[in-house]
Amino acid sequence: MHIKKILTVDDYPLAAYTVRKIIEAFSTHKCEIKDFDSPLELLSVFEEDPESIDMVVTDFEMPQLRGDELIKRLRELKPDIKIVVISAWLDSTSKDNQCLVEKEVKNLEPDLICSKPFPDNWIELLDEILGGKE
């Protein structure tokens, strides 16, 4: 079985760590995951060998680099990179943020959008995307 290479980033380090642990624990795929608390760090690792990376799981609102910019750069390097966006803002009722972020995230056409707290089946969804490549 091909080992899936996944990079994940959240400006809240514990969050990225948990995402890594969850995927490692529950994914049916064999995964090699690296977690970052800075999208710039993730980008520099990604740049070294874009083709080897299967998926990037990223937060959206990050101070160093916003999710949209990160995804744009990733796609420049590898157009078919699988993207999962995680955001706490997604089902927020605060209309301003909700509408803006929701629209922005949707416009990016990621492979999967997850809101925090994660839905129970999110790992299955993630697995499907990963599996689709095989």
Partner 1 sequence: MGNPIYNKFNNLFIILFEVLMGLLAYYVLLFYDEDSKLFTLTSILIVFILINLLIGYYLELKDNIFMKLQEKLDMENNINNSIFNLQKAIIIVRDNRSMTKANDIFFHTFDFHNIEDFTNNHSCICELFIEKRGVQHLKSSMNGISWIDYIHKYPDKRHEVYMVDKYGKERSYSVDLRENVYHEKSMVVFTEITEIKNQAETFRKLFENSADGLLMLKNNQYLDVNPTLLKIVECSNKDVFLTLCPEILLPTYQPNGVLSIDLHENMLAECMKNGVSTRHRLQKKLSGETFWCDIAMTKITVESEDVIYVRWRDIDEYKELEFSLEDQVQKQSQALLARSRLAGIGEMMENITHQWKQPLSLILNLVRLLKLELPNSRELAIISDQTNYLDKTIADFKSFSFHSDKEKKVFSLEDSLEGTLNIFKFQAEKHKIEILLKIDNDAKIKGDIGIFNQAILVLLSNAKDALIENREENRIINIKTEESRENIYLIISDNGGGIPQNIIHKIFEPYFTTKFKDKGTGIGLSMTYTIIQEAKGKIEVTNDKNGAIFKIILPKIKDEKEI
Give residues in contact with partner 1 (CB under 8 A): 12, 14-15, 18-19, 21-22, 25-26, 88-89, 91-95, 99, 116-118
Distance between CA atoms of residues 100 and 107, nearest Å: 11
Measured from the CB of residue 120, what is the shortest distance to partner 1 in angstroms?
9
Residue nearer to partner 1 on the CB measure, 77 or 112: 112
Residue nearer to partner 1 on the CB measure, 43 or 105: 105
Which residues fall within 8 angstroms of residue 15, CB to CB, at 6 or more apart? 59, 86
Residue type, 120: D
Residue nearer to partner 1 on the CB measure, 109 or 120: 120
Give the strand pairing for 31-36 and 55-59.
unpaired
Structural element, H or E, at residue 33:
strand 31-36
Contact 80, 107 (CB under 8 A): no
Residue nearer to partner 1 on the CB measure, 38 or 115: 115
